[in-house]
Amino acid sequence: MKTLPISPENPWLAPLAGYSDLPFRMLCRAHGAAVTNTEMVSAKGLCYFNRGTTSLLQTHPDDAPLVLQLFGADPEPYDQAMDKTLEMGFRFFDLNAGCPVRKVTKSGSGSRLLEDPDRLCAIAEIMVRKAGPGRVGVKTRLGWENGNDIFLDVARRLEDIGVAWMTLHPRYGKQMFTGSADWSRLAEIKQAVSLPIVGSGDLYTAEAAVRCLRETGIDAVMFARGAMFDPTIFERFHALMRGQEPPRRTGEQLDRVVRMHIRYTREFDGSERAFRKLRSFIPRYAKGLRDIRSLRNELITCETWEQLEAAASRIREMEPADPLGFDPAAVIPD
C-alpha cells in the first residue's frame, strides 16, 4: 500500500500510550477501524533498541495499514530510528507533536515541540526524507498554550516539507484534556492547507464523529478515548455513515467484545504483564452499567485466564444504570 485511506468513510484509531498495543489494534480492526497507530515510540530508545521500546513494535500481517508514531525532542536520533524501523518493514510514520502528558513534555517532546516550530519541522523533514512521499504525518495541537496559536503556520510549513497528512486535536498542550475541543479550528486548518486533515478531540461517540465531519469538512476522524471505552464505536460510525441505526450497547454485545479482546491478548502476547493489563482494562468497557464496582473487585482477584473469562462473562447480564440507556460522553472522561 503506497498511501493511507484518508477519507470520511475510514475512521482511524489514535496512538494511545498504554492501550493501542497489537491485541487492542486487532480488536478495533475487527470492528471497523481502517487505520491504526502504535503507541508512541521513543526515537532515542530505538537507537539503543531497549527492550521496552522494541516491545511496542509488535505487529502482524493483518495489522495493516499501521502507522508507527515516534516522539522525541532531539532531531538527531530520528535518522537512525527511521532507518531501523524501515528495515523492520514499517512504511507509515507519525510525529508526535501533540501529547500533553508531563513525562513527555518535560523533555521538550510532544506538544512542547510547538514552542519550537523550527525543531518540529526539522524532525518532520528527516522523517519525510527517509520514508518518502505520502508516508509521514504529524499529530499536533493548536499550540502549547492559549494565545500561542501556531497550528496554521506549522501546517503550512509541514505542507511545504512534504508531510502527507496532519492530525489536529484542537486543544492547547497546556490545557491537557480539560475544557472542550474547539472543532471550529479543524475547519480553519482545512481551509488553510491542501493537506488531508484528520480530526481528533471529544469524539466519544460515533454520532459526535459524524457531526464533526459535517461541521468542519475535514477528511477523516480519529477515535481515542471513545475507542478505549467502546471498540465497537467504529461499527457504529460505519452504520451512521450509511444512514443506518447503530446497534444498541448491551451486556451481551460487550461480553462478545471482551471475549475477543481476551482471545487476541492470549494469541499475541499471553504474558503475565498482558494479563494484568487486560484485567484492569475490562472495567472500562462496562462503564455506565450496573454493578460495575463489584465486577472490578472480582476481576482484580483473578489469577488465571479462565478465571478472567468467567468473571468478565458477568457483563452479559449487566444492564445500563439508567433505564433509558447512558451517554458514553458522560462516563468516558477519567
pLDDT at site 51:
66
pLDDT at site 325:
46
One of 28, 99, 212, 302 is an active-site residue; which one?
Answer: 99
The predicted model gives 85-114 an average pLDDT of: 95
Per residue in 274-333, pLDDT (tens digit) is 888 888 888 787 776 666 777 778 888 888 899 888 888 888 776 655 443 445 555 555
Tell me the domain boundaries of the chain: 12-241, 251-317
Backbone angles phi, psi at 261, to 5 degrees: -65, -40
pLDDT at site 11:
98
Between CA 72 and CA 79, with CA 74 as vertex, the angle to 5 degrees is 90
pLDDT at site 302:
87
| 113 confidence band (pLDDT: 50, 70, 90) | very high
Rounded Cα distance, 100 and 102, in Å:
6
Pull the grid cell for residue 311. 468473571
Q: Beta 41-42 vs 66-71: how paired, if at all? A: parallel
Task: Establish whether the linkage from the previous residue to 15 is cis, with ω within 30° of 0.
Answer: no
pLDDT at site 8:
97
Nearest in space to 302 (alpha carbons), one of 325, 322, 282: 282
Question: Does residue 302 have an active-site annotation?
Answer: no
Pull the grid cell for residue 244. 443506518
Lowest model confidence (mean pLDDT) among 56-60, 136-140, 188-192: 56-60
pLDDT at site 175:
93
pLDDT at site 252:
82
Kindly state the helix (H) or strand (E) to which residue 71 belongs, with its residue range: strand 66-71
Residue 108: CA atoms inside 13 Å, Cβ hemisphere, count?
A: 11
Q: Beta 36-37 vs 12-13: how paired, if at all? A: unpaired
pLDDT at site 323:
42
Highest-confidence range of 63-77, 261-275, 285-299, by mean pLDDT? 63-77
Give this prediction's pTM. 0.92
Per residue in 19-41, pLDDT (tens digit) is 999 999 999 999 999 999 999 99
CA dihedral sign, ordered 55, 60, 62, 67: positive
Pull the grid cell for residue 20. 493501542
% of residues, the chain, pLDDT over 90: 69
Nearest in space to 135 (alpha carbons), one of 206, 190, 40, 70: 70
The predicted model gives 41-50 an average pLDDT of: 86
Q: Please say whether the structural domain 12-241 has been given the CATH code 3.20.20.70.
A: yes
DSSP 91-136: -EEEEEE----HHHHTTT-GGGGGG-HHHHHHHHHHHHHHH-TT-E
Q: Are the CB atoms for 236 and 247 separated by under 8 Å?
A: yes
pLDDT at site 52:
65
Per residue in 165-223, pLDDT (tens digit) is 999 999 999 999 999 999 999 999 999 999 999 999 999 999 999 999 999 999 999 99
Q: What is the mean pLDDT of the chain?
A: 90
Nearest in space to 199 (alpha carbons), one of 226, 177, 225, 181: 181
Coil vs helix vs strand at 41 = strand
